[in-house]
Structure 1
């Protein structure tokens, strides 16, 4: 698989994960379970339940079209700019996510040994301690994934547990609640980076708001 496919997979995967997680964003797991009973796709019901006057099915947290049009073809540079402009992270965690993305772009595999390059010993051990927990216990292990560090570490833990199937990984991550637009974007982006654009179900790409313009920007 070439780097261009994985780069596109990263961009599209993060958009899909962001859009899937947006309705539940900022809500604890028990509220997500009560209201949504398992988010499975871009269904209007999820969005109107979350915000009757606001969100639209397939909507992302910010409009990605201007960012996509400005991205270079070079995957490394494009990843840097995309994380800076789309993920909306503080500088510290932006650097962590950028480093993770470059490691995956270079090695195309996700292993526990990578944790030592990203986190201090305490954070690394917390991630390792949570890998055998059920997802509901895992999100509690990270205090509901309600802050940037907890959300990033939770998303990475979910990826380490299962990174074979895009849809399963992203949906299981965002349905745990917390900062689900962020955890979804991370899970989706990293899955796309590992497995390429073709690993993302076409229905999830075409279901994005402005999908035609998004694909046009990627193809230009």
Structure 2
């Protein structure tokens, strides 16, 4: 794993988020009708509050996690994340009601592990979990140690077992991509590992198996068209067992095609900025930041600022001999 890997993960999150931003919540049909498909950064014509290349809370939260990992020990992560998230309140971008309520409780002093939503199994934990997968890859922590650290930081805002299972799964997927460069990436092995790791994580969280059940149903569907994968996921909305399984299935379907895979997944519709962020993180981990098109690099909001933060994160987790 190199610094370019880490930059690919973090900046890839922002790229996917920004590409999906204007069509968040739209159907595939409406994306085709009103946008003629997403092929590049676009203004948010529906709501009118974002310009082309701008990113949303998906990127904010992911980089907040990265800052915590870079500056604190795993035992400090929940409290540090609570402070990071609270400091983002004045910069909030389209936070959903569940996350907003959790942040407000944190701001009034609710302990981090009690502030997360136990009611809604959304994809909000998965969309910010990629930096934790890089940490896991760099430290080579055993599964139990990694699960304790990762679930504690994700639980700050999302306590539902299914949400945590998807977040744990995204961390595991990122770790796999970081330790299996593109030439060594085997989609079948990736999927088998992902199912096994998610099943194990669910066993630590209780009896909710909806996320691993979805992964199992997708096991023999990974070569299907994106719209068929969406249908197998019962849509690509904000549910943890929809958006995240769809995102990882798209990456497993065509990991070698960075641009095509990312755009194809976003154009399916649904929670497009979050699926874009999750796919962008995994594809960025596999390909590295250098592989992204120049127009995506140059058109992204605050690229240099994000790149500097990503480099700081990379230096904090990589041994000197493993950095590029």
The number of equivalent residue pairs is 211
Separation in 2, partners of 1:78, 1:71: 13
Q: What TM-score results when the alignment is normalised by the length of structure 2?
A: 0.58
Q: 1:76 aligns with which of 127, 135, 138?
A: 135
> Could you say which residue in structure 2 is the equivalent of 1:9?
8
CA spacing shift, 1:105–1:179, aligned 2, 3 Å: same
Say which one has the larger Rg: 2
Alignment match, 2:216: 125
Work out whether 1:114 is the aligned partner of 2:193: yes
Which structure has more relative contact order (CA 8 Å, sep 6+)? It is 1
Deviation for aligned residue 1:167 = 1.1
CA contact (8 A) 2:21 2:56 kept: yes
Q: Greater CA deviation, 15-24 or 129-138?
A: 129-138
Task: Write the distance in 2 (CA, Å) between the matches of 1:78 and 1:103.
Answer: 8
From the superposition, tell whether residues 164 and 141 of structure 1 become closer, same or farther in structure 2 (CA, over 3 Å). Answer: same
Instruction: After TM superposition, give the deviation of residue 125 of structure 1 in Å.
Output: 2.8
| Aligned partner of residue 241 in structure 2, secondary structure | helix
Contact 1:136 1:176 in 2 (8 A): yes
Q: Structure 2 CA distance, aligned partners of 1:186 and 1:110?
A: 19
| SS of alignment partner, residue 10 of structure 2 | helix
Q: Is the 8 A contact 1:9 1:197 kept in 2?
A: yes
Alignment-derived partner of residue 31 in structure 1: 30
Tell me whether 1:163 sits opposite 2:222 in the alignment.
no
SS in 2 for 1:72: helix
CA distance in 2, matches of 1:7, 1:208: 17
Matched, 1:57 2:52: yes
Question: Aligned in 2, Cα 1:212/1:177: closer, same or farther, shift over 3 Å?
Answer: same
Identify the residue that residue 117 of structure 2 maps to in structure 1.
Answer: none
Distance 1:69 1:203, change over 3 A: farther
Q: Is the 8 A contact 1:104 1:193 kept in 2?
A: yes
TM normalised by structure 1 equals 0.82
Name the counterpart of 1:99. Answer: 172
Residue 265 of structure 2: aligned partner: 173
Structure 2 spans left out of the alignment, 5+ residues: 72-130, 139-148, 200-211, 313-324
Structure 2 residue matching 1:169: 3-state secondary structure: helix
Superposition deviation, residue 173 in structure 1: 0.6
* C-alpha deviation, 1:117, in angstroms: 2.2
Cα distance in 1 for partners of 2:3, 2:307 equals 14
Task: Provide closer, same or farther for how the CA distance between residues 5 and 51 of structure 1 changes in structure 2, counting only shifts above 3 A.
Answer: same
Q: Deviations over 1:80-115 (max 9, x none)?
A: 88xx68xx8633321121121112222332522223
Q: How far apart are the structure 1 equivalents of 2:236 and 2:300? A: 25
